[in-house]
Amino acid sequence: MGKATGFMEYERKENLRIPPKERINNFREFYKDIPVEERRRQGARCMDCGVPFCQSAMALDGMVTGCPLHNLIPEWNEQIYKENDRQAFMRLNKTSNFPEFTGRVCPALCEKACINGEHGNPVTIHDNERYIIEQAYAKGYIKPVVPQVRSGKRVAVIGSGPSGLAVADTLNHRGHNVEVYEREDRIGGLLMYGIPNMKLDKSVIARRQKLMEEEGVVFHTGVNVGVDVTAPDLLKKFDAVVLCCGAKNARGLNGLEAKGDNGIWFAVDFLKSTTKALLNGPFDEKSVEELEKNGGFVSAKGKHVVIVGGGDTGNDCIGTCVRHGAASVTALEMMPQPPKERKASNPWPQWPKVLKTDYGHEEAAYVYGSDPRIFETTVKEGHYDKAGHLKEIVISKVAFKDGKLELVEGSEQTLPCELLLIAAGFVGCEKYVPDNFGVNLSNRNTVLTEADHFATSVKGVFTAGDMHRGQSLVVWGVAEGRACAREVDEYLMGYSNL
């Protein structure tokens, strides 16, 4: 371990956040690294405990605690403390394909399982991971690793989100020839168009793409598999195909159709429009007005916005609307407000069911004067102007009765609302790709496989990520991609050393 008494000597210190007053004026990442000397002390806080739950990914009370990638966390924390940044990177790189993604957007299941968190504050594992990978890029530890021997086997990966990229990266390093097909104009899936720039700058994805291309992975963007290219074409050309198209079938709200031109949008489409505008720049008032007029941009400027859904996507919508200059932002959450402290029935190392105030909530409170969230509430109906555009909504309290969620009679309120964003999650994958390949779907609208396996009902076709497990975290996508790659490798070669 780094320092035997480090966890007693040093307090937890996270990366610094740029204050809301400054950061809401742009879409740049808003975290600043702490000084290197302090980072060493943060590494020293790791206890190297006998049973490191941080790397366990154990299911406790229906929730996972610890890292799904089984990152060797105590090992690289020790190397940070000992100033061995290269060795820290080597240990991190052994289990994780893309620490620059998880080090920015992961909710840190590892930290929730850190034994320091049982009676105090956990180790800053999330920030330490980001430090290691950024040091590796800055100091030139990361160089293209091109396989010296190729297997001659060809693999097509459909979708370039976290799972697709992990499949491609792992199989390419194994020596297979990998080509990735992405229907959008840029790779990354929800990393690119579902997570806003202030959490994950898109240059981080471009940097990784360049490295993967130098190592031999071929990317085809703007190709919609199942439309532009068919399953028979790919199965004839490749020895194996891996479906990693995500769970992009958004969950709607009863009686409220997300058509866009009526003022109702799915959250991911709203976030995507902002990211595209930023990438194609400039993002100034004149260009944004022109984009909105041409139907290529969804603006929240000057509008009363209501967001339905309390997850990460809902929070990202809040932060984005604040930066647009919305007149007001209200966030509706159907579940009750969680407690601020752990309950006795939710002990460590379970995932803590406590109130989380994220960057978007903090920014909205700064701009509008109060936390934007209203709990145990949903939209009952919408009212429209003569042109069919939303002008206000009626909200209602909800409560569980006999296991069902019901509206509370007499609790209705009317709110002004010109833009309603639905961030209520997803209900599985879009069906046209699995239909094209003829693979079976589960009753959850995910691609069906045997438990803990990735082969579909069609020989030579595999699946991973949200398309396989349902809507989940980036870290789970990467973990699934790595595990799927091993199964594909075994199928191609008769064995696997992955």
- Segment 137-146 shows an average pLDDT of 97
**Separation between Cα atoms, residue 389 and residue 140, nearest integer Å:** 53
Task: For residue 319, give the nearest of 305, 334, 332, 333 by alpha carbon.
Answer: 305
User: Is residue 63 over pLDDT 90?
Assistant: no
CATH number of 6-138: 1.10.1060.10
User: Is residue 1 over pLDDT 70?
Assistant: no
State the pLDDT confidence band at 237, using cuts at 50, 70 and 90.
Answer: very high
Tell me if 6-138 shares its fold with 264-422. no
Burial zone of 316 (CB within 10 Å; 0-12 exposed, 13-18 middle, 19+ buried): buried
- CA distances 64 to 40, 53, 55, 70, 281, Å, are 29, 11, 11, 12, 40
What per-residue confidence (pLDDT) applies to 291? 79
- Segment 313-342 shows an average pLDDT of 96
What per-residue confidence (pLDDT) applies to 75? 95
Report the length, in residues, of the chain: 498
pTM of the prediction? 0.96
Tokens of 107: 């909710």
What per-residue confidence (pLDDT) applies to 152? 97
Does residue 147 have a cis bond before it (omega within 30 degrees)?
A: no
Q: Which residue has the tokens 């070669």?
A: 493
User: Is residue 54 over pLDDT 70?
Assistant: yes
- pLDDT tens profile 12-36: 999 999 999 999 999 999 999 999 9
Task: For residue 272, give the nearest of 168, 183, 332 by alpha carbon.
Answer: 183
User: Is residue 2 over pLDDT 80?
Assistant: no
User: Is residue 293 over pLDDT 70?
Assistant: yes
3-state secondary structure the chain: CCCCCHHHHCCCCCCEECCHHHHCCCCCCCEECCCHHHHHHHHHCCCCCCCCHHHCCEEECCEEECCCCCCCHHHHHHHHHCCCHHHHHHHHHHHCCCHHHHHHHCCCHHHHCCHHHCCCCCCCHHHHHHHHHHHHHHCCCCCCCCCCCCCCCEEEEECCCHHHHHHHHHHHHHCCEEEEEECCCCCCCHHHHCCCCCCCCHHHHHHHHHHHHHCCCEEEECCCECCCECHHHHHHHCCEEEECCCCCCECCECCECCCCCCCEEEHHHHHHHHHHHHHHCCCCHHHHHHHHHCCCCCCCCCCEEEEECCCHHHHHHHHHHHHHCCCEEEEEECCCCCCCCCCCCCCCCCCCCCCCCCHHHHHHHHHHCCCCEEECEEEEEEEECCCCCEEEEEEEEEEEECCEEEECCCCCEEEECCEEEECCCECCCCCHHHHHHCCCECCCCCECCCCCCCECCCCCEEECCHHHHCCCCHHHHHHHHHHHHHHHHHHHHCCCCC
* Highest mean predicted confidence (pLDDT) among 47-61, 92-106, 340-354: 92-106
State the pLDDT confidence band at 414, using cuts at 50, 70 and 90.
Answer: very high
Structural domain 264-422, CATH architecture: 3-Layer(bba) Sandwich (3.50)
> Other CB atoms closer than 10 Å to residue 33's CB: what's the count?
14
- pLDDT tens profile 363-391: 999 999 999 999 999 999 999 999 999 99
- What's domain 154-248+427-493's superfamily in CATH? FAD/NAD(P)-binding domain (3.50.50.60)
Are the C-beta atoms of residues 448 and 440 closer than 8 Å to each other? yes
- CA distances 19 to 31, 317, 363, Å, are 10, 19, 9
State the pLDDT confidence band at 462, using cuts at 50, 70 and 90.
Answer: very high
- pLDDT tens profile 203-230: 999 999 999 999 999 999 999 999 999 9
- Segment 278-300 shows an average pLDDT of 83
- Segment 469-483 shows an average pLDDT of 97
Identity at 94, one-letter amino acid code: K
Tokens of 126: 């999330």
- pLDDT tens profile 155-192: 999 999 999 999 999 999 999 999 999 999 999 999 99
Residue spans of the domains in the chain: they are: 6-138, 154-248+427-493, 264-422
Report the chain's mean pLDDT, rounded to a whole number.
95
What per-residue confidence (pLDDT) applies to 380? 96
